[in-house]
Amino acid sequence: MTATHSPTAAASGANATERFKSDKFAGVEGTPPERVSLLAREVLEAVHATIRKHKVTYEEYNALKSWLISVGEDGEWPLFLDVWVEHVVEDVATEHRQGNKGTIEGPYYVPDAPEQGARGSIPTRDNEPGTALTWTGQVTSTTGAALGGAKVELWHADADGLYSQFAPDIPEWNLRGTFTTDDEGRFEIHTVRPAPYQIPTDGACGKLIAAAGWHAWRPAHLHVKVSAPGHELLTAQLYFPGDEHNDDDIASAVKPELLLAPQPSGDGETIEYNFVLDPA
């Protein structure tokens, strides 16, 4: 991070908003009106019930209005939704699975990160700060079959807690890479340990956190998407034991199955973590 280009909520929010708009927006046209009506009505009823229960005042209502406007102005709808809502959607979407537990995607995934083969380093800067991390693993199916040619897309924050393409002055694909498993479904990834992540404090989400007296932290985490033909896409995050925010992640996205067990090795650490995918 440099003094002249500090990350700002509005800049990272604008990038996240742009990415979602351009590559994901499908609209509600495919959803039947009965379903839209049911869901919209029940969400509104929950709001009405909260207003009645707590006798919400005009002052509070107007504060909410102006805050909602600022969420959009700061480009923080992706951040807001992924931090406070996505974890429940993810739970519901994956509750049938027999294979790996997953967790939320969050706002900072970018598709088509550079391909690195089955064994290699994620793109880094020269002298990328942070403890070296060597990760070995295997991708298999719940049927027991090894999944050769599976994709392991990895993205994570740097040792300052910043993501490339969302914070300034970081090379485009820094700490973002796609690995493809060998015939036995195995991979070996060289990267660095990410830092805990603090969501921007200078935007609308930060304002809510400060006004409510919450904290803004996520524990350090590695994001992955693991995919193979004929199998459900797995979106997950992996966490490091002992992080003080594993138990109170602002995004409620930690699960015990997603904790790593790093072993010291040379100047760095090694981890082993395997994935089991459900047939689609």
| Residue ranges binding ligand MBD (CB under 6 A) | 79, 82-83, 104, 106-108, 197, 199, 218, 251, 253
- The span from the CA of 157 to the CA of 59, in Å, is 39
- Which of Fe ion, ligand MBD, none does residue 150 bind to, with CB < 5 to 8 Å depending on kind? none
Amino acid, res. 273: Y
- Which of Fe ion, ligand MBD, none does residue 239 bind to, with CB < 5 to 8 Å depending on kind? none
Residue closest to ligand MBD when measured from CB atoms: 106
Q: Which is nearer to Fe ion, 7 or 185 (CB)?
A: 7
Q: Which is nearer to ligand MBD, 82 or 269 (CB)?
A: 82
Least distance between ligand MBD and beta carbon 100 (Å): 18
- Which of ligand MBD, Fe ion, none does residue 16 bind to, with CB < 5 to 8 Å depending on kind? none
Secondary structure (H, E, C), 193-262: CCCCEECCCCCHHHHHHHHHCCCCEECCEEEEEEECCCECCEEEEEECCCCCCCCCCCCCCCCHHHECCC
Least distance between Fe ion and beta carbon 106 (Å): 5
- The span from the CA of 158 to the CA of 197, in Å, is 9
Based on the shown chain and the rule CB under 5 A, indicate whether residue 177 belongs to the binding site for Fe ion: no
Least distance between ligand MBD and beta carbon 155 (Å): 9
Would strands 151-156 and 176-180 be described as parallel, antiparallel, or unpaired? antiparallel
Q: Which is nearer to Fe ion, 77 or 140 (CB)?
A: 77
CA dihedral 136, 142, 143, 149 (to 10 degrees): -40
Q: Build a one-symbol-per-residue string for 104-123: x at contacts with Fe ion by CB under 5 A, - elsewhere.
A: --x-----------------
- Per CB under 5 A, the segment of 2-10, 98-106, 143-151, 253-261 that binds Fe ion is 98-106
Number of residues that bind Fe ion (CB under 5 A): 1
Amino acid, res. 236: A
Q: Which is nearer to ligand MBD, 147 or 226 (CB)?
A: 226
- Per CB under 5 A, the segment of 1-9, 36-44, 74-82, 102-110 that binds Fe ion is 102-110
Q: Which is nearer to Fe ion, 228 or 234 (CB)?
A: 234
- Which of Fe ion, ligand MBD, none does residue 75 bind to, with CB < 5 to 8 Å depending on kind? none
Query: Which residues of this protein are in contact with Fe ion, per CB under 5 A?
Result: 106
